[in-house]
Amino acid sequence: DSAASKIADLVREATQEKSQTERFITPFSRWYTQSVVILAALLAALPPLFGAGDFGIWLKRALIFLVASCPCALVISIPLTFYSVIGSASKKGALIKGSRHVETLAKIRNVVFDKTGTLTTGNLSVQEVRSLSALPEEEILRLAAVCENASAHPIAKAVTAKFGNPPSPDSSEEISGKGVRAIIRGKTYLCGSARLLKEEGISLDGAPESGLYLADETALLGYIQVGDTVKPEAKEALQELKALGVARTIMLTGDRAQAAETVRTQLGVDEARSNLLPQDKVTALRTVRETGLTAFVGDGINDGPVLAAADIGIAMGMGSDLATQTADIVLPGNRLTSIPAAIRACRKGMRIASQNITFILIIKAAVLILGALGYAPMWAAVFADVGTALLAVLNAMRVTRTD
């Protein structure tokens, strides 16, 4: 169950999944080989039967034809190109589960991201402290930290961490799902959600729609905005995706609209869709897929259905087993910059595979025709076989070079 064992399993899967190009080359080579053997036999036998020359001359031409037609260059270089892409991408932090995903990733048009744990760290932190009374902002933070000192809520922990080791209140009462009522130096304070303050008859005039509010028994004193922290490399990764020609970047989240918009603005995501349940994310992804090949990047168990529904599913890290097993690509290092690096490697690999196929077929066609007509010597046939194979292999190895 270790991370190393999981990576080993993914590597085994990667070597078994073939791309469309590889799946085409294998049956093509089988058909092609049978055809050229028959053509070579006909080339050696038919012309002498019709008095077009000596059998020895046509046998030599047939042998040249047979040597030049060998499909080894195609059979060796194309799989090697895809294996090189997988190796290059893995060095850059993206483990691709098979050659068939290389072709899809190279053509990707849209990239959809989960928010929490993917674009953000998942760790809450204080974003803003604002006073709506005569108290300074430092005092608002101190009072809120003292109130929240005994609470285990993630927002409470973010506030106390921002202040740093606050003292305990004289007494406190945690109101489930709403906040805390605490007594500090004989005075009662309320710290929590808008719902808590409204139930106590305290007006929220001048405050935003959401946040952690601090009030005494009569009026609102101030508020604190707590939000998720974006990953340091997230903005760079999104900029690289845009530079690669990705048409749209979209963020899906179950969080409220304001939190989603804050992250969208910070990172420059094209579009953010909020307040989504897991099934809503699948529906949203399907609408995006209508505009082109779409990759989804997620990390949690809730992202499993969306990863499966995407053209390419990308799982962050080695956390959730469901996400890792469902995804087509895994990022063991948990770095978003591995995604544009993998796209570059895939596009480079597809260019090289196309170059190799074109080069091999042109050389072979030229030597086959010239050999059948008697203008190509045996060394040309050897070059069309072994020479093109070596050149194609060397060209395929260029994928592993870091751009």
First to last CA, the chain: 35
Residue (of 305, 357, 260, 325) closest to 315 by Cα position:
325
Mean residue pLDDT across the chain = 85
Q: Is the pLDDT of residue 169 over 70?
A: yes
387 Cβ partners below 8 Å, 6+ apart? none
Q: Is the pLDDT of residue 61 over 90?
A: no
pLDDT, one tens digit per residue, over 142-154 is 999 999 987 888 8
Exposure string for 160-196, b = 16+ CB within 10 A, e = fewer: bebbeebeebeebebeeebbbbbebeeeebbbbbbeb
Residue (of 127, 129, 140, 91) closest to 331 by Cα position:
91
Q: Is the pLDDT of residue 38 over 80?
A: yes
- pLDDT tier, 288 (very low <50, low <70, confident <90, very high otherwise): very high
User: Which one is predicted more confidently, 341 or 45?
Assistant: 341
Structure tokens at 192: 């929590």
Work out the angle between the directed axes of helices 20-49 and 72-91 (0-180°, nearest 10): 170
Q: Is the pLDDT of residue 14 over 50?
A: no
Q: What is the mean pLDDT of residues 62-71?
A: 85
- pLDDT tier, 261 (very low <50, low <70, confident <90, very high otherwise): confident
Q: What local confidence, expressed as pLDDT, does residue 322 receive?
A: 66
- pLDDT tier, 155 (very low <50, low <70, confident <90, very high otherwise): confident
166 Cβ partners below 8 Å, 6+ apart? 142, 145, 146, 149, 160
Structure tokens at 86: 């997988």
Residue whose structure tokens are 């995501």: 269
β 120-131/312-316 pair status: unpaired
Q: What local confidence, expressed as pLDDT, does residue 73 receive?
A: 83
Catalytically active residues, by annotation? 114
| Range with lowest mean pLDDT among 57-66, 107-116, 211-220 | 57-66
Where does 148-233 have alpha helices with state H?
A: 154-163, 194-199
